[in-house]
Structure 1
Amino acid sequence: MLKRERHQYIMDKFQETEKINTIDLAIELRISEDTIRRDFNELHNKGLINKVYGGAFLVKCNSKNVFDIAIINEEKKIVVGQKALPFLKEGQVIIMSGGTTNLSFCKLIPIDFSATIYTYSLPIAMQLSQHPNIELIFIGGKLQKNAMVTIGIDVVHVLSKIKADICFLGVSSIDENQGLTEMGYEVSVVKKEMIRVSEKVIAMATSDKINGKMMHKVCGLEQLHAVITDLNPKSPKVKNFVEAGVTVL
């Protein structure tokens, strides 16, 4: 396959998944990992993808409406959200991280649900603002514009004062040995504090986030109450998680 054809193949593959893993793509195309890394570097320099440790993400175009969020693999994220709904109880204090999986989950929450919800995600805050019985606390701080979430010491300080019943944690990558990992250091620090102040932590992970690894560790699997995916718990992809004693739904 010529380089031009590989680049087109990579861009076409992003129509199916949010992240492409370097090793998996090298095996799929039967070429070296170094070749894939060079391809990723070229596409990154053209502003088409974001190259990260172990893979790459597609650069998303800015929407004309800042709150009109395009959700990739929305069907999978709806499945995750539906499985998470039974964890909601009236009157809970809830912390919710950012991400389109949690955004899809929020769209499924019954309109009359009553709870206190803290979030540092602007799109999720806007979605939950439509619920009259939810006491919504948006945690302000430095805005990370690409993800529309706040980060920094101000966010961590507010979180440190909360006693939450449950945390719904969006996942960038989750691995049996590495646990939850993140691309950005500041987001990893915020998520660590969310976990620390929550009685239960529910990791929300679509299948493309499983068995991946990023630079900054958030937590080990032992700190999670459950991992919710779009997969059947008997799927070979989550077999190692189940065998390690993780509750997978």
Structure 2
Amino acid sequence: MLKAERHKYIMTKLIEDQKVVTTDLALALDLSEDTIRRDLNELDSKKLLEKVYGGAIQATEKTVDVFNININAEDEKIKIVTKALSLLHDGQVIIMSGGSTNLVFARLIPSDLNATIYTYSLPIAMQLSQHPNIDLIFIGGKMQKNAMVTIGMDVIQILSKIKADICFIGASSINVKQGLTEIGYEVSIVKKAMIESSDRVVSMFSSDKLNTKMPHVVCELSQLDTIVTDLDPEDLRLEEYRKSGVFVL
């Protein structure tokens, strides 16, 4: 297959799935992963996509004002997080991962809620810094610039010392067999630590993440207490998740 044909295939898959995984592309095109990585590097240099660990995502324009972050499908995410607001109450210790759905959630937290919130997401920390009654703790560490979250051992050590009532964790992918999975290894490790430190685990995500997978496992489905999506809880697409014992909101 010619390079131009490979590039066209990669860009088509990216438009269809919003992301591509190196191993999947190598399998589909019957090529080595090194060849695929070179193709992704070239497309990244042309700003046609954004190369990330294990694959690539669609290229996005960076906003100049970090307080004014553009959110794709914001109405859908508002529908998701509005359901989860019922899980909040005064006095909770909460951990929040990064991601645009959790950022929308942070924006909608009622102004009269008194709680302590830990986060390693810079955009979420900035949003919550304006909340009048939230005791906010930002977990510092090495900054992963594309996602604006901190990663590394510093983050994990702090998380290991927290005893949280509930955590709200974003999902890149989820399926019944593998549970939550992530494209990035370091983020998956941080999310594991977050789950270990929390009594209750809630994952909020759009329905297009259902029945998909990424290279790095975060947790099995049994470790989730609640999942929140844009679908009706009785939707047939959620049937296997309900059967697994997870509560669907």
TM-score (norm 2): 0.84
- Return the letter of the residue paired with 2:86: P
Give me the whole-angstrom Cα distance separating, in 1, the residues matched to 2:171 and 2:182.
Answer: 8
CA contact (8 A) 1:152 1:190 kept: yes
CA contact (8 A) 1:227 1:248 kept: yes
- Does structure 1 residue 105 correspond to structure 2 residue 105? yes
CA contact (8 A) 1:181 1:218 kept: yes
Give the SS at the match of 1:33.
Answer: helix
Q: Structure 1 stretch 159-168 or stretch 233-242: which is displaced more? A: 233-242
What does residue 183 of structure 1 align with?
A: 183
Structure 1: any 5+ residue segments left out of the alignment? 27-31
CA contact (8 A) 1:185 1:216 kept: yes
Give the SS at the match of 1:46.
Answer: helix
What does residue 160 of structure 1 align with?
A: 160
Shift of the 79–39 alpha-carbon distance from structure 1 to 2, 3 Å rule, reads farther
- Return the letter of the residue paired with 1:69: I
Shift of the 176–132 alpha-carbon distance from structure 1 to 2, 3 Å rule, reads same
CA contact (8 A) 2:20 2:56 kept: yes
Q: Structure 1 stretch 134-143 or stretch 104-113: which is displaced more? A: 104-113
TM-score (norm 1): 0.84
Give me the whole-angstrom Cα distance separating, in 2, the residues matched to 1:181 and 1:54.
Answer: 12
CA contact (8 A) 1:113 1:131 kept: no
What does residue 29 of structure 1 align with?
A: none
Q: Deviations over 1:17-41 (max 9, x none)?
A: 644689xxx9xxxxx9329x99997
What does residue 238 of structure 1 align with?
A: 238
What does residue 29 of structure 2 align with?
A: 34
CA contact (8 A) 1:151 1:186 kept: yes
- Return the letter of the residue paired with 2:117: I
1:121-132 correspondence to structure 2 within 5 Å: 121-132=121-132
Matched-pair identity in %: 54
Shift of the 8–175 alpha-carbon distance from structure 1 to 2, 3 Å rule, reads closer
Give me the whole-angstrom Cα distance separating, in 1, the residues matched to 2:52 and 2:239.
Answer: 26
Q: Deviations over 1:156-205 (max 9, x none)?
A: 11111111000000111111000011111111111111111101000111
- Does structure 1 residue 137 correspond to structure 2 residue 137? yes
Give me the whole-angstrom Cα distance separating, in 2, the residues matched to 1:107 and 1:139.
Answer: 19
Shift of the 190–235 alpha-carbon distance from structure 1 to 2, 3 Å rule, reads same
Give the SS at the match of 1:233.
Answer: coil
RMSD of Structure 2 on Structure 1 (CA):
2.9
Shift of the 74–19 alpha-carbon distance from structure 1 to 2, 3 Å rule, reads farther
Q: Deviations over 1:208-233 (max 9, x none)?
A: 21111111111101111111111112
- Return the letter of the residue paired with 2:43: K
TM-fit CA distance, 1:49:
2.2
TM-fit CA distance, 1:235:
2.3
Q: Structure 1 stretch 60-69 or stretch 135-144: which is displaced more? A: 60-69
Equivalent residues, number: 239
